[in-house]
Every structure is written in C-alpha cells, then in structure tokens.
Structure 1
C-alpha cells in the first residue's frame, strides 16, 4: 500500500538519532574507559607499612561471551563474558616482581538492543535523573529579606553548606553538623591571617553590610591552629579533651578533604567552574577536590547575591541542575565501593602473608567484586525486569528515566514541584508520557531528539538562525545555555530557498518563556514540532486535537497493546512507526545486498554479493524466533515477508516481528467504527463488537506460560519422574511418556499432570502383612508420595515445548536438585466480553456485547460496522483526534493508501474533507445507517470510518475467578480474598442487610453459620447430607469467638451461657 503524507513541513535537517543509543554508548564507555578509571583509581595498593609490597593493576581484558543470546535464554543462563585483570606484585624487600593474569568476574554483556540477559530473563538498567554534582545557590526568606546560601555537592565525600545569617555573619556547615564561621574554613584552606582574608575579599565585599568583617568579629578562633581545633570539636562532639590537640585535628580534617575520601568528579568540577564563571576548557587537568580558590569564589558569589535585591536562587528542578546517570556510571559507582573493600582485604593479606612465596592470585579475592556485579543486576532498584507486552513497550522501557532509586528520591518524599512539567524539559523530556499512579512525574521518558553530552546533561538540537535567515547548521544546547537565546518554533514561515523568515515578528521562547520577537533577534529555530515528545506520544495522530490527560493515557495504553496473530499497521500514522519498529532491534534486517535463496519459519538464507558473473557470493543465514516467550508471557515471533528469488538491499526488512507489519509498528487492527448509542449496551464507555472480529481472529493473541518442577535428592532417597503414579486414573496418564513428562502437542486443562513425580515417604513401623509384602516384592512395595507437577486452577492450553536440565548433562542446578523439567504451554485467546479495547487517543472501554453480524448496524451497501462506540465519550474527554482519525482513515481505506499525519503539522479539516470527497464519501464523514435488527434507517446521520483499536493486556481471562473449595483464614474461618490466594467472597454487611430486607431469616442464618465459619455446624451438615439426614441446628460461628476474644482483650469478661432446652422447631430440612 502506498503512503501519502499530509505533513506541512519538509523532512527535518537532522534525521532521528538511534533511539536506544543512550544505553549502548554508556556501556561502551564503561568497558573502554570506566573500568580503566576504576582500576587506576585503586592502583597501586601498598601494604600498611608501605615498605613490603606494592600491587598494581596493569590492564584488563573481556573475553568473548560464553553463550549467544538464544542459548542463554533457552538454558536460563546469563549472557556474560570473563573479565580478567593483569596484576603486578612488587616485593620491595627482595626486589622481586611477579606478574599474573587472574579471573575477576563473569561480567554481563549488553545485547545490541541495550538490554542484559540475566538467568535467562531480559533486564534493562533504567537511567537515573539525579541532582547534578557541583555547587547550588539557595535563598532563605527571613523577615522579608533574602539571605543566600550554597551547597557544594560532591560525587563522593562530605557536603559543605555555606549560609548567611540575618546578622551578616557567613557560616559553614560541614556534613550537617554544627556551623562554624567561614573564616575558620579559610584559615584551614590557607588564608592564615585576618588581614589576608580581608584583602582577598576587598573587591567583592563592598556592600552596605561588610559580611567578612562581621564574620571575623564573630569567629572565636584567630589562628590556623585554633581553627582546626574548633572545626574538629564541631565535627566530633563528645571527643575527650586529650584528643583535641592541633595534630589530631589537622590529620582528621585534612583526611576529610583528601582525594581518597573526597571527589568532586569531572562533572562537579565542570558545573562549579561554569557557575562561578571560571574557564571550563581544561577540566581534565584541574583538581577534583575543593580548593581555596573554589571556597573564595563561592563566598564572593554569596556576597554578590546578598547585595543584589533582584537576585534569584538556582532552580533545583531545572534540567540544567539535574543530570542523567546511565548504566555505565551506575555500575562504576557500585563497583567503586566494593573495590575499596577489596583493597582493605588485599592490605590485610599483605601484612600476614609469607613474602617469599606470595603471588598476586593469593592476595586478590574476587568474591567481593563478583557479588557487587551480581547484586547490581539482580537487586538494584534501577535494574528492572524488562516490560515486553509489545515492541513499543520495549522501546519506551529503554527510553525511560527515573528520579527514584539509590541516591534519588522516594515516592513519599517527592513533592509537587519535582513531579511537575518544567519549561527546561522542552525537547529533552516528554511533558505528556508519565505513569498515572504514585510515580507520576518521577518516571518520565526522553523526547525523540534528546541526547546526553559527556557530562550526562540532556541536550536538544536547534537550527541556527543568522540575521533573520534559517540555516541548515545544527547546534545542540543544554537547558542552561538555551535560556540565554531566543528560539522560534518550527512552524514559523520562511523562504525555502533563501531561508529568510517571512514574518517581521515571530512567536518564540525568550529566556524559556513565550514571547513575540523581531526576526533579527532570533538565534535558533526548533527542529520539528514533535521534538518535545516521546516516541509513543509522537505515534498519536492529531495529537494537537487531544486533551493532555487523554494523550497521556493514549501514550501509556499503546504500550499495553497485546500482539495479535496478524497485526495491521495503522491506516492513519504519524511517520514514527517505521523508525520505532526498526530501532528496537527485533526485526530481521538485511545486512548486505543479495538474493533470497531459502525461506521458512525458522530461517532465511540470503546469497550475498553483486549480480555480475564471477562475483563472490557468500551465503548468510538469518535465524528467526518462533514462539519465544516474552517477559509479559506474549509470543515473540518472526514472520518472513520475503519470497525465494526476491532481490534485497542492505537495511531491508526480511521478517516482521511480533508487533510490526511491513516494517512499521503494528499494535492493533484497523476496523470500521460507528459512533452511536445502541440500546444502552454501550453506556459509560462500554463497547459493542461485531462477531466478525472473533470469527476472523482479528484480535486473537497467543500467550505462553512456563511451568517448572525440581527433582531433588531428599534424605529419604531421590525423587523420580515416572509414568507410574499411585492412585491416578489412566485418563490422567494418557499424555505422559515413560519418563512421566507430558508430550508436545498435548491439550491440557486445569489439574492435568504435566510432569509425573513420586517422592519417598517417611518410614513407619511395618505391620506383619507389610513386612511379608516387602520380603516378596522387595523395594517396590515401599510407600511413595505423588508430588507431580499439575496445571494450575483456571488454566488450559497446548504443550509446545519441553526443556530438561540435568546434572548428568552438565547443567548448573541449585544444590540438592538432580533434574529440572520446564513445560511451556501456549494458549490462543480470542477476544471476548470483558476484554479491554483502546484507541491511541485515550479512548478506552470494555466490551459489553459481541453482536451477531446480522444485528450490527450497516451501511447502504450492506457493509456492517465492526465496532460501536458511544458518542458521549468524546465531547467531555476532549479527544477529538479520534474523530479526525476516523474520517481520514475511511478515506485512506477507500483510496488505498497509508496516511501520514504528524502531530501539530498534519492533515487539516479541509484536507480531510477533500480526501473524503475524492473517495466518494460525504464531506462531513456522516452517513445514514440501517439498524441490523429492524432494517430501518436510524433517525440521525452517524459518524462512520476506520479507527485503529488495540486489545490491551487487561483480559477477562486473567481476572475472572471462581471457587468451590479453597483455603480459609485461620482466625475468622472465612474464605481468603483474591484470585491469587484461591479465595472467595464472604457475606458482608450490605449482603446481610439485603437478606434482612426480604425477611429471609433462615436463609440468612444458614449463610452466616453452616455456609460460612461455623466449623462444627458445617462438618455436621456435610455428614447429614451424605447420610440423607435432617440438618441439626447451627452452632456459633468462629467470627463470634473472635469478637469474644477481642472483648476479653479490652478486659471485659464475657461468658457464653447455653440454653438448657433445645427447641425441636429449629431443626430444618
């Protein structure tokens, strides 16, 4: 099908960057530079005396991965490679040097998609949006006047706060301890006398209040020695007097600011220099600790801000003051803490080892390093189980950024300001897409053009404008730099040949605020209108016609779309679908030009090379995934779209993935919609669906689940898998093989045996008869217990895969486990009443009725509609985009093209009317519909057209639940709640009132006693039923005993007195 674009702007000068580059680049930096930095930081390591040994890390190497991606997933292994380090141990006493390469850890390797495979499961490390290192200036409002303060935030080490008091004294507060006048800190950093301090600030401290003089007057310490002792006393309160000497104080305080314990980091140094107006060109050579020059600069800035009544503090929510920490940096930070432990262990071993025989491998224990790597990937809050409902879900998980996690915020502490949309987010963080729950605003998504600079600060590209002319030069700006320029929006009209802006005054962002600016004062221009939005939001057509809340829901619900057996690309798209499907890395793409030689469901073979005779023609095989289980239990599957003999070029799509169609993202189906109220069945967002959708499997999806069982070696003997299971009928065993494992292709239902297993029972005293049987038949007569793996309650499907792991075959298993069997079951789910459907505009609903084809309303030509939506669900929700999509979709279907209409510069209403006219449809998109039940026309015209709908991962089959027999609560003896616990519903207050209202006293008594928690009564009722006897009177329910116990807990002595006479009338049938 051809494409037709309604975009008003030309293709952007800069093509979209790779959408998962942020992860792959960070991991690559860690492997090439981050690990080197880490080893250099801890090298050399000397023994405590610094006279015996020196250990140096001279290099490292990362081997090739031990498995490929497919085998790691199949065998539940980690995709990792061996990390080895080269060590050089120098024995200073005898001048001997020993070099050795040792194994340090199995290090997880990143896939090309930016994910990790840990224990066979795909995981992703989500980047963290954290406060930037460096200096920040804040203000405290005291009696109507602002008094400025600053915080110096290092990467590692203590925080220093410098604050101004209303009396004009400037104090320093180190590590949140008691404050000390800043003059004492100056003396510690090298300004020895008061005269030196006054001279240093002679140019800065020129206001009405002399802050430096006031501080010197307040300072009780007058010399450097006194300053050290004074600061030590505040940092270590309660220290004995004999420890308060100058030497002790100096050693402790100098140690705090030493480079081993204090690290401002390259980012912190850059931000500090930038904020103080110092050069940032030579950051790498500058010290990464706090210097006298830094403290003087910060105090001078505080004095300058205090003297300026218009001065404003730094905005901590501004993206210029926040940065993103990706997988490489997070991993380096985690390993650094464990390297410090490893260093202490090495020094301990150096002091106790025999110098003559000591080798590097003897003193380096890699267990600390290995546990750090393992813990990071398995327990860190930022290392997450990848969501894989569809490929867009995968893509957006990789582009997710969170403010939560270690060193970040918590949901409880985060206020409104940090969650809110900020003007600095433009082009960097999507203002629309964020979760709706407690994480709102804390978990956000990157905008499509956003990139990270070397300091982890988000940047976005702009086109340069010179003297009112738009150029093709692209400049990336961070949020702080951007606030110094005037930036025009991308839809400002300009001459396509000369670049001259046609309007004299242009709408622009001036200092990040909206304004009207002369074209000569414009510095930059936006790249494209969807620059500000995430991938999912950019995939909503007519986004500019939807309310922001509904656009948020639309963005989030696209990620929940369950892959259909045959997904369809949308008739009305935005142009983002193709790029999103390609960058997620799930499609099979051609690596070189060639000809298709062989195609089947599992592989495609391409004969590469030119078409001329004699050209070397190498064959390349592309392996395809067939029904791989995703993390969301959907089927990841490839569908070849090429045929034998086809000529293919580099980059062409050879096979679609589980949610793409012809190389475009496809999350649902194009269906014929009518906006119509139908007999009350689509009241309140309910949806009426045609039976055709069920018959033609339009929304049918495949769901895979794996069930596993361990076969253990117990104290009483080993467990065995077998076909021969005691007390089980032939019907249950018919699909098991001789090992007791169900065969592939078997249809299984709830409680069917998947793996037959018997376990030895504990020995008991044998009767003479049992001893005789044992002597005749030997061990076979021994008692065994049936511990087979059975299919869970409420589940069914077809067995599509069996995996057996065994120690005999060399597989790694848990201690005590001799064999492990995994059974994979597939289930086809047709759409049914209770399933949730949604469009891309936040228009969601639950199916209330599936109507026969003949009952659906139909067009004049007899075509029945596929879905009926309630028109009342449009006006109040303000998502008119769905109506425009419906009109344009109908025209596109009739004219046979895919419409491309990007948000903010797509098809106009007039253009849609024109397209409908060309297709021979009414210009307003409304037609007379016939009622399928009566054959008569409806009174009013109805909006009809093609809409794109998705089946969401909220299916009735996962939620419906029934119980006949199940567990009870020990305390109340009432059924547990919820599907997961096999629970049921209890008779609550309102149900009791309903029965009381009908005067059903005996029914109510039964329900509250023998049908509920009257233990004795229900047991005797059961006996009465099986013996066909009359019921006895009910007893007291267990909940009454709970009430009595609670009253006794309140020191009220309650006695239950039973009536002597039993009334025979109480006995019931």
Structure 2
C-alpha cells in the first residue's frame, strides 16, 4: 500500500474551480515567509557589520600600546558533508564558517599585523526559513514588544480628580528615564528607578541653570495653564539655583554615600544619556522620538539630546493642561517586531562584548613583540552565545511540522513573550485583547486557547514588516485628481470646470469626459483635473500610527466600472471608530477582505458565519491535521489553499521551461536511495529537482513528494512538478471530502462523538503514515568496547531471524514491540573466575568474557515496517569512515513506518471548530443511505451546531452537496464568498439534476458527472425554461423554478402562485416535517439496518473532515507488571515509563462508598507496593493457587522511616499484637534501593558504578 505513493499521482484532470468571489484580485498574496528570509539576510549583510563596527577598534587599558580592529568578514561555504539533507540525517547543524579579517596595530612600532580568523560556525537559514540544529528543524519566532521611544500616559488622580501625566523614555540600551506629575503640580523624574529628582533640577543639570532660562523655555505652556508646574517644581527645591548645585544634587541622589565632585557629576550625566557607548536609542527609538515630539534630529544621532528632554517636559505640561493626548501602549504604532535577524544580532552582541573584555585582558598580559591577532582573540564567548540562543532561547522553537500549514504558520508567528517581553503570569487583559490597530496586521482569530491567549498571534495575510520593525498593511489610494494624459480619463465626472489655455471651458463641472474630450486634453500641456473620487490601483503600505489619520473604506464597498463609489454613504473606519462617510472624504480602501485574517483563518470557508471562538479552534486545528495517504483538496475551498501550499515550499515548481528527461530513483555514492526529476532546458542545460520520499518530520508525520509529470512531457516555467503529502494539484489538502448526515444515531454521537462508515477504513480514506526513528551507539567503555553483533547471549534464533550478519535489522522487516532492531553487547564487570571458567578462557581466549545484552529493541506499543537503516562507522587509517563523536565507534539509525488506519478514539475535525472523537466505525451497510442507495460516510450530532454558532459547517455542507452532484469545486473566499441565494440556487440545480435522472453513473474521463441536456429537457417538459436554470447570471431563477416543481411533485398546484404566496406555501408544507424543499438541502434517509425511512428529512451534504494528530494509538496503554518507583515501590506513571493507572484518593473514596473492602485492599497492596505480596500473588496466579493474604505496603514503611527521621521510635504491631517491625530493627535495617526489580533488571545506579570502575 505504501509503495503506491511512489507512483506518479493520478493523471485525471481535477474538477474546475467555480469562484463565488464578487471582488477582483487587486494584489497578489506576498511571499509568506519573506519575514524570515529578509530578516536573516539583513543580519548577514548589515547586522554583523554594525556589530563589528560597534566594538571596533579595541584598545588596551592604557589606550596607547595595542589597537585591534575588525576590518571585514565573510561567510564561507558550508563544510563538505554538511548539506541540509546530510545535517538532517546525521544530527548535525547546518552552518557556515564565519571568517573575520582582524588588523592589529602595535602603536610603539607602527607595525600592522593582519589575519583571517575563524569566528565559529554560524547556523544558516535554509531557503524554507528554518534552521537545522542537531538534525532538527527549528524556527525563530518573531517577538512583539514595546518599541523604544517615549510614552505618555495620563491617569486620573483619586484626590483631585485631574488627569495627571506620566512619561517613560525607553532606550534600546541604557538607563530608563521616568517622569511623573504629583497632584501638587510638581513634575519629577526618576533615573533607572532610583530616587525622584525635580524636573527643574534635571533641566538645570543639562545646561539651563538659571530661573529665567527655565521659565523662558516653557513661557507659552505656563501662560495658558491654571497650574504653574515649572514654578511649583522650582519652589520645591529652593536651595538649587544653578547648574553646579543641580549636578551635585543629582550625583548625591544617584550615588548616596559618595563624596560628589563637579567633574564626576558632569561625567555621570554625560555617561547616562549622552555617551553612545552607554546609551543607545537605536534607529527605532530615534525615529519614534522624532515623530512623537515633533523634533527633527538626524536618525544617526542615537543618544539623547537636550532638546529631547525639553520637548518631553513640554508634552507632559500640555497633557496636564488637556492640550495634547496621551499614548495607547497597546497600539501597534507603539509595539514593534524583533525578527530573527535582530534577535540573533542581540545574542551576537552579548558574545562580542564578552570577547571585547577577553581581548582587553590579554592585551595587558601579552608583550608587544610576540603579539598576533590570533593570540588575542578567543572565539569561545561568541560560539557559546550562538549555541545558547539556538539551543535554549524561548524564541528558538522546535518547528511544528505536522503539515505544510503548521510549518508556514509557525514561521509567521508572533510572541509577546521571551527575553525582554511579557510573561504569562504578569500579562493582563489589555495586552492580550484585540486592538483596532491589529486590523490587517495581526489576525484577531488565530491565537492559542490556553494561558498564552493573546500573547501569541499570527501575522495577517498581506502584512509586511518595515525597516523599523513596525507591521504595515496595504491600501488602495482614492484619487480626487487625475492627470490629463491618463488613459483612464474618459468616462470620469469632473468636480470643477476644466479650462483650456485661453481660459475657455472645455468641460463643465458635473459632466462626464467623453473619449473625444479626453483625447483633446491629452494633447494639451499636462495638468491635474479634479474628478469624482475613484479608487486607483496604486498601493501604499502604512504602519498603524500613520493609518490613524486616514478615513478608509472596506474592500467590499461597491464600485462602478470607473472604480467610483456607487453609494452616497460608505462604511468606513477612522482610527478606532466606524462611520458612514461621503465618498469625497474617503482617502484609502482595503485591498482584500482577507487582509484582516491570517493564512490559517483564511482557509475556513464561510468564516463570517462562525462564532469567533469556534473560528479560533478551526484555525488552530487545521495545523494539527495529519497528512493522509490519499490527499484530497477541499470541494469547498477559499482560494488560499494554493498560496499556503506554494509558500510552504513543499510543492515543487519548474524554474525554467524544458522537457522531463529523467524521473527515477537512484543510489548515490554513499549508497543512499534518492529520487530525482531532471528537466532539460531549451539551451541544453539541466535542472535537477530532488524529491523527498518518506521523510520523517519533527512530529513523526511523513513528507512524501509525488511527481505530477511524466518522462518526455513538455514543461513551462512555473509549472507544478510534484505534490507533497498534504497537497493535491498544488492545493493544500489536509483532509477528505465525505458525505455527511446531521442526525442522531442510536446515541453514538452524543456529546460531539462521530459515527464513521467502515468504507473510510476499507478505502484508506483517513489512513496516514507515521515514521519513528530509533538509534543506538556502540561506545568505548572502561571495561572494553561495546559491539554491534548478531551473537547476543540468551536470545533464540527466532528473535534474530530478521537481523543480517552484522546484527542489524533488514529494510522491509515487519517489527512488533520488543523485537530486536540492532543487536548490541556490552562488557560486564569481571568477577572471580572458577576453575572451569579459567579453563574456558584459556581455550577460547577473550570470547568467553561475560557480556550483557544492550540491544536496541522496538519500544512498547510501537510496530511497523523498517523503511531505512543507516550505519556510520568511525574513521580509521584503513577505511574511510565517518566523523563520529569521541568514544563512539558505530552509530546505527533505524526508521520504522506505520500505516495507521482511522480507528475508534481518533479525533476528527472540520474547518469550523467542529471537532469530535470517533465513537463507532459502523459497517457501511448499516449506515443510513440516500434514496439512490448510497450510504453516508459520517454522521455528526445536530445538537453541536446551534449552541456553538458555527453555521459555516452547514453552509459548507449545502454547497459541497451541490458541488458533488453538479461536478465542480467551489471557491468561496472569506468575507467575499457565496451568499444564501447562490447556495440555494446551487442546491436547487442539484435537486433538478437528481429529479430529472440526469446523474451520469459512469461519467467519462474529465466529463461532468451529469448530463445537462437531459436536465434541461426535463425542466422544459414540465413547462418551465430549462436553459434559465443553468444560467449563472439569473440569480434566484433555479430556486423559484425548483420550488414550484417540488410543490407539483407533492400534487400542490404552484405554477400560478405569486412569489410571496409561493414562499408561504413552501413554509407551510415544510412545517409539517415530512418533506423538505430543495433549498433546505435535506433528504429522506433510510435506516441501513432495516431499510425503513427515518421520520424526518435529514440535512445531508459534503463536508471536509481532517484527522488530527491526537491519535488514539499514541495514547492507549495497558500494563500488567512493569517498573516500580525505587522509594515507594509503587508502579511508575505514564505511557513513556510503561506505568500503571493511578488509583488515587478520590477513587479510594468511591470504593469505600460501595464498601468494596477486598477490592480496595488488593488495589492498595498486591497491585501496588506490597513487594512480597505482589511477588507471591504472581506466583499463585501462575500456579493456579489461591492468592494469600496481602502484607504491609512499602509506602507504610516509608511513612515509618519519615517518622523515625523526626526522632520518633515506632513499633508496628498487628491485630494479634505481635510486633511486625520493632523500632530498633527498622532503625538498623538498611534501605533497599533495588527492592522489587525483576531478576533480569539491573538497578541503574549499579550499572553506572560498574562503568566508573
């Protein structure tokens, strides 16, 4: 079955997509992983250059002996054997060596020494936007955090009731400066959270020493106010009247206990705010400061200026006086994204600063004669910083690779947590909430459900990140003027008279420009002509703070053929307000309705009909869908499926045109089986595409690329060449299209449970492939080397039948729990040899040494087929082996594939948050069947729809039903999809096709599944217009005709009924509950077991269902005996430890309530921690004897020990008043750590002791 996937995908052409979108595509979806690729490229090109410039040159402590400069750097090619694929297979890091040209100047002699120094292997980003570290793909998530800059907040004072301003000045690096206003009109500042300093003191300290200078600075702001903040603050410090006193006062408050001097005080202020080495606003901080304060300081000036501080105080006074507004800290204009490049750069800075210290220290030790750059530079701090980031940072995450969508979403994820960010515990409601500035930037739907809700988000579909790290979204410009030479001038209405050079009127105000007039204007001198506002195709990208100034229309505002607004009042938004506005005041328009949501959310059809909570679950669960053996693209799609598949980089497109000349598997020079597709271009050169076959992902799912072309086929540039495991024809295909009925069935779908037909199992519709990797190393131990061999002690030949002569499992072998995969023996510790053993040793040499079996075996609960084996052997002088870690002689990897069919307990879900667990897989012959005898595939609970308010699933069911019968694939984008009339028309056409017998049981290849001429003829024979039914432009025609025909089939005359009367009669008949009109998408179903029809029509249709990664096989677990905890001797917990089920306190109460004393005693003793009792019970069961009375549980003995540790000498006496454990004995008795282990098991601590010897 697995081998089928090696063949090219089906050559049948897919059904055509029928789009229900009403709006044209204005802007293509941008490259969805650009955020990762561009950022890392910026780091490689500019970030490192900036860092090296920041610490270069490094001078020795005296400053006049040595000077070390970093002149240039380059990334060299990755080392041989370190390609992406090889790093995956061999658990290595995909990286490139960084070399830096270092120049050393010896100042005494003027000698210059230059060297290219190796600065460590730096992880490289793959073209998919990921990193490969230790063989695993990782993603660096972008961080959303408060931007550097100044923030003003105003809070109401509880005493005076006035709104008083506070401000925070946050640099990228350096001391924070906080300002606050008291209700007594005193404005003060805090430097790095230390003691308050009156603002007048701070201003005097930076050069505005006299009272006059201070009052002159804010003369205007004081005049207009009832409160004199500056005067009041000056009066608070009557002794400080000039710059000198102010500087000394600031020094005393920041360094209490030290003797201040004027020079030290001046130096302190300079170091705090005006020294580039200690204070850095960064590009972003300077940009934000300029914007907020209205100053015009160069962006290269990254320290504070005196003007900045003066302006900050001015804003505080204005806000206090109600003449300026405070800032919203949750606004996206004040929150920025730190992308992967910036995060890596920050980590590098830490490494470089440590390096700088090391170089300085070495400069003071080494003499100038022998010194070289390599003697000074130690790269360990840099290597450690990089390793720490990629291996341990909260933002460097193990990639979610369940399916292509999960990959893509992970790369576009935003996290407010991480270093310098928020924590789950501290984050309040406001920061988690959806903000109006998220529109078109961050998806309001896609976020986790747990404690991270609102802290982790996803970029919206069209959003991009600008150079400062702010999220921008695109808009179309609305123009009120047009060039006289513009080709689109004809047909526009002018809003003022158009004059020629002689000032005579060519076009009067309010008239439309004809093509002749437009041609005449084009010949004249170019100028702007005022016209009725129209929406242009000019796109601008705006950050959130810029956008607030504009009035923006929605993407679906109706436009005429000249792109002018049709309506007199347009729904628009302005900052956080939603208004109806005249077209003259509209300045911008959204580019697409889906620009509000993320990729995963945009994959949900009829999203607008779902409650937000369920939409959130739907978006999140699509990321958990397992790639299936036979992927199917959804019958009802949104159009984002193609984009998601393309940008996930899992489907293969042709780079150039040409002819397919090779499509086959081959064995490379390292004996690995690989698959490739070669296209010979027109110029004779070739393009080779390596295809991935049964590659394991991080989550154990399978990537399997299937070619869609054949040898000899002509290919165009950009053509789709190969599909992946979760795509079909280049569209994302996460699930299956199944026939669904919404009804209850014997109570099996109680509480969202799902009833599935056995057809789904038989036809492998929800079958998925899962791959597990197992590995073993043969190491050198102190007692000798471990050996991989077939010769394993005390193991029968039957267990070794699938191993080759080296003791390694063969590819293709079926394996089950506890089967040997790789035979391995480890030397045991030597004991005193008997005479016989000495004789054997003398005869057979070392062979008779005692070894123990440490073979790699299939873990409990796993099974499957071995699909690949790799053996790596240490290099030596005789053979060209592999580079292995120290102490490892051989390393074997085994991959096992499982083909998992869908089973009871698996979790299925739709795209609307409609999830459930399979409760029964019923025989297909027992499932309810349609009038034509087709059994339904799946039964869902109708009670699950109204309370969840995810009506999208019902609309999808209806449209899917029509699409299935009429033979098309629907495309209904979010917020711009099929409306109720379109769906009803489609349902009615499907009903007519069925009634007319036009369904073709054997449609030819690429033919539609019904005969339209037969359906048309049948409608005509009933006296209606058959052609009009299938005319898409005649909305509602199919609906009306089919309703009349339906009533006539029930012998109710309907031909002459007026439209309103028709609706009333249809409702009346429907209310009787025996028959449903065609618009309802309901069918009379028959019980598969009895053949009797159900008493009411049932909603039946086609729905897209996915199998999620929460598979029952990973969770189901049983144990008879197994490992026990060393201290308590109770069974361990959890499937991974082969543990038991905990019979806890509440379960004990339940048995107590029933008075089940014997059951309870068994549970708490021989089934748990009565060591001797359980051994005897096992023996009794084997021998068929009665089980003896339980003994004392080990946990009771632990309690006795704990009490003894408190100094209480306890005696344990039973009912017969005989002492079970006298105090003296229990005190003397050594605690047995290895009690209760099976004979074959060695306690771990003893093993380690042996190894140490």
Q: Output the TM-score relative to the length of structure 2.
A: 0.82
Query: Helix, strand or coil for the counterpart of 1:150?
Result: strand
Question: Deviation digits for residues 72-101 of structure 1, max 9, x if unmatched?
Answer: 212222111111111111111111112221
Q: Determine the structure 2 residue equivalent to 1:384.
A: 397
Q: Could you tell me whether the CA contact under 8 Å between 2:15 and 2:967 is conserved in 1?
A: yes
SS at match of 2:318: helix
- What is the DSSP-based 3-state SS (H/G/I as helix, E as strand, rest coil) of the residue aligned with 1:805? strand
For residue 229 of structure 2, what is the aligned residue in structure 1?
211
Q: Residue 479 of structure 1 corresponds to which residue in structure 2?
A: 544
* Aligned equivalent of 1:872, options 931, 940, 943: 943
In structure 1, what is the Cα distance between the partners aligned to 2:1174 and 2:1131? 14
Work out whether 1:980 is the aligned partner of 2:998.
Answer: no
Give the conservation status (yes or no) of the 8 Å contact 2:551–2:586: yes
Determine if the alignment matches structure 1 residue 817 to structure 2 residue 882.
no
Within the alignment, does 1:591 sit opposite 2:660 as a pair? no
What SS does the aligned partner of 1:731 have?
A: helix
Q: 1:339-360 CA deviation, whole Å, 9 max, x = no partner? A: 1111121112222212122221
Residue 259 of structure 1: which of 263, 276, 281 is its match?
276
1:620-673 deviation per Cα after TM superposition (whole angstroms, max 9, x unaligned):
221100111101111111001111232211111100011110000100111111
Aligned residue number for residue 561 of structure 1? 625
Task: Say if 1:783 and 1:648 are closer, same or farther in 2 by CA, change over 3 A.
Answer: same
Pairing of 1:123-138 with structure 2 (within 5 A): 123-138=138-153
Which of 600, 603, 606 aligns to 2:664? It is 600
- Distance change (3 Å), C-alpha of 1:1026 and 1:625: closer
Query: Does residue 776 in structure 1 map to residue 843 in structure 2?
Result: yes
The structural deviation recorded for 1:15 is 1.3
- Distance in structure 2 (CA, Å) of the matches to 1:158 and 1:881: 53
Is structure 2 residue 974 aligned with structure 1 residue 956? no
> What is the Cα deviation at residue 1037 of structure 1?
2.6
The Cα of 1:204 is off from its aligned counterpart by 2.8
Change in CA separation of 1:199 and 1:955 when aligned onto 2, cut-off 3 Å: same
Deviations 1:50-88 (A, max 9, x none): 111111111111112233222221222211111111111
Q: Does 1:898 align with 2:969?
A: yes
RMSD over aligned Cα atoms: 2.0
Q: 1:550 pairs with 614, 617, 632, which one?
A: 614
Tell me the equivalent position of 1:492: 557
* Structure 1 residues 279-299: Cα deviation after superposition (integer angstroms, max 9, x where no partner): 47x523xx1111100000000
Partner of 2:330: 317
Provide the rounded CA distance (Å) in 2 between the counterparts of 1:647 and 1:803.
37
1:653 aligns with 2:720: yes
Distance 2:203 2:1152 in 1: 82
Higher deviation after alignment, 38-47 or 195-204: 195-204
| Equivalent residue for 1:229, pick from 228, 248, 252 | 248
Per-residue deviation, 1:512? 2.5
Provide the C-alpha distance between the structure 1 equivalents of 2:770 and 2:461, rounded to a whole number of angstroms: 31
2:912 is matched with 841
C-alpha deviation, 1:1039, in angstroms: 3.9
Aligned equivalents of 1:967 and 1:234: distance in 2?
64
Matches within 5 A, 1:212-361: 212-219=230-237, 220-237=239-256, 239-240=257-258, 243-257=259-273, 258-279=275-296, 282-284=298-300, 287-308=301-322, 311-361=324-374
SS at match of 2:1121: coil
Aligned partner of 1:529 in structure 2 is: 593
Superimposed CA distance per residue, residues 987-1035 of structure 1 (whole angstroms, 9 cap, x where no aligned partner): 4455545555665544443343333322333334445556666554332
| Conserved? CA contact 1:600–1:640, under 8 Å | no
Query: Given the superposition, is the C-alpha separation of residues 609 and 681 from structure 1 closer, same or farther in structure 2, using an over 3 Å criterion?
Result: same
CA distance in 1, matches of 2:1124, 2:90: 39
Which whole-Å deviations, capped at 9, do the CAs of 1:1030-1069 have from their partners, x for residues lacking one?
Answer: 554332333444555677789988643334489xxxxxxx
**2:427 aligned counterpart, secondary structure:** coil
- 1:605, 1:619 within 8 Å by CA — same for their partners in 2? no
Instruction: State yes or no: 1:187 paired with 2:187.
Output: no
Structure 1 residues 1-40: aligned runs within 5 Å:
1-40=14-53
Given the alignment, which residue of 627, 633, 639 partners 2:700? 633
What displacement does 1:979 show?
1.4
Matched residue of 1:642: which SS? Answer: coil
* Distance change (3 Å), C-alpha of 1:761 and 1:8: closer
Larger radius of gyration: 2
The whole-number CA distance in structure 1 between the counterparts of 2:468 and 2:1154 is: 73
SS at match of 1:570: coil
* Structure 2 runs not aligned, ≥5 long: 1-13, 481-532, 666-673, 995-1077, 1219-1253
Cα distance in 2 between the residues matched to 1:1027 and 1:740: 37
What's the counterpart of residue 700 of structure 1? 767
Q: 1:801 aligns with which of 851, 862, 868?
A: 868
Is residue 940 of structure 1 aligned with residue 940 of structure 2?
A: no
| Cα separation, partners in 2 of 1:1047 and 1:603, compared to 1, 3 Å | closer
CA distance in 2, matches of 1:355, 1:1058: 85
CA contact 1:607–1:617 (8 Å) conserved in 2? no
Match of 1:1065 in 2: none
Q: Which residue of 1 aligns with 2:1035?
A: none
> 2: distance between equivalents of 1:586 and 1:785?
45
Once residues 911 and 348 of structure 2 are traced to their aligned partners in structure 1, the CA distance between those partners, rounded to angstroms, is 43
Match of 2:740 among 660, 667, 673: 673
TM-score by length of 1: 0.95
On the 8 A contact 1:205/1:300 being kept in 2, the answer is no
**Secondary structure at the counterpart of residue 776 of structure 1:** helix
Contact 1:569 1:669 in 2 (8 A): yes
Query: Are residues 691 and 1020 of structure 1, via their aligned partners in 2, closer, same or farther at CA, if it must alter by over 3 Å?
Result: closer
In structure 1, C-alpha distance between the alignment counterparts of 2:360 and 2:1168, rounded to whole Å: 68
Task: Specify every segment of 5 or more residues in structure 1 that has no aligned partner in the other structure, as ranges.
Answer: 611-615, 1063-1069
Matched with 1:1066 is none
1:1045–1:769 Cα change, 3 Å: closer
Shift of 1:449: 0.6
| Inter-partner Cα distance in structure 2 for 1:1061 and 1:198 | 96
Report Cα offsets for 1:739-774 as digits up to 9, x if no partner. Answer: 211111111111111111111111122222221221
| The one of 505, 519, 523 aligned to 2:583 | 519
User: Hey, what does 1:86 align to over in structure 2?
Assistant: 101
Distance 1:99 1:820 in 2: 42
Q: Tell which deviates more after alignment, 965-974 or 727-736.
A: 965-974
Distance in 1 of aligned mates of 2:280 and 2:785: 57
Q: 1:198 corresponds to which residue?
A: 215
State the 1:236 CA deviation: 2.2
The one-character-per-residue Cα deviations of 1:210-268 (angstroms, maximum 9, x if unpaired) are 2111222222433323322222222223x34xx42223333334222311011001100
* 1:366 aligned onto 2:382: no
Listed as ranges, the matches of 1:982-997 within 5 Å are: 982-989=1138-1145, 991-992=1147-1148, 995=1151
CA contact under 8 A between 1:596 and 1:604: conserved in structure 2? no
Residues in 2 aligned to 1:227 and 1:358: alpha-carbon distance in whole angstroms: 48
1: CA distance between counterparts of 2:1173 and 2:15?
74
**2:206/2:243 contact within 8 Å kept:** no
Shift of 1:124: 0.7
Task: Mark the CA change 1:45 to 1:847 in structure 2 (over 3 Å): closer, same or farther.
Answer: same
TM-fit CA distance, 1:955 = 0.5
